[in-house]
Amino acid sequence: MFPALPQDLSLQLLLNQQWRNAALDLLLPLFSLRAPLFVLLAGLLVWRSALRGKGQAAYFLLLVLAMGATDLTCNAVKHAVGRVRPQHAVAGCYYQESGQWVRTPVDYVADRARGSSFPSAHAANSMALAVLAMCLWPRLRRGLWALPLLVGWSRVYLGKHYPLDILGGWLLGALLGWCFWLAWKRLAPRLKMAVLPDELYRPYLSPPCGR
């Protein structure tokens, strides 16, 4: 079983048990939900397609493929590592059950030999999305980095992961997101597509005067 390092456990206790308040109890679980993320991506796809045409769909499909590959990789690593989640291993850990906050007893003793804590797929997916999206849309670099940070924080807050699980997920997601970007730069010219979405023709904008 993957042991909890002293620094890892201390930070988990800090983020899960000490730095808590009612506002975070309501807000942070939202960053662990995947449905709002896909709704947001769908909305952005519709908006971008209206500005620059249906070819924008290929770039959003690339994002989905990167997250899918990241998720599959995380599941394979989880199965091999078998680390137990904090909610099944740490006394006094806060977590949600059926939408309600509950807590393990203060004298709780772990009774599971294996789990699926390392690495965090949520952290990996959000980092892969952020890295690839920032490569495709460079203007997003000012703020999109906050997404994986908030997702990672939410997973520790919810008792699903240790901080080291989050770090492992971030590293894996960043690596796969970057690999997809490198692969896309080589593949796009062969498909006769623009490497960057902003290089596509804007169908609804008037041409410059004199043309």
| CA 127 – CA 142 distance, rounded (Å) | 15
- For 29, which DSSP code? G
Cβ neighbour number for residue 181 with a 10 Å cutoff: 19
The CATH architecture of the domain made up of 6-198 is Up-down Bundle (1.20)
Asked if omega into 203 is within 30° of 0 (cis), the reply is no
Summarised one tens digit per residue, pLDDT across range 60-117 is 899 999 999 999 999 999 999 999 999 999 999 999 998 899 999 989 988 888 999 9
Pairing of strands 94-97, 100-103: antiparallel
Q: What is the pLDDT of residue 52?
A: 67
Domain residue ranges in the chain: 6-198
Summarised one tens digit per residue, pLDDT across range 104-157 is 998 998 888 899 999 999 999 999 999 999 999 888 888 889 999 999 999 999
Summarised one tens digit per residue, pLDDT across range 158-211 is 999 999 999 999 999 999 999 999 999 999 999 888 898 887 654 444 444 444
Cross-strand bridge partners of residue 100: 97
SS3 string, 43-108, reads: HHHHHHHHHHCHHHHHHHHHHHHHHHHHHHHHHHHHHHHCCCCHHHCCCCCEEEECCEEEECCCCC
Q: What is the reported pTM?
A: 0.89
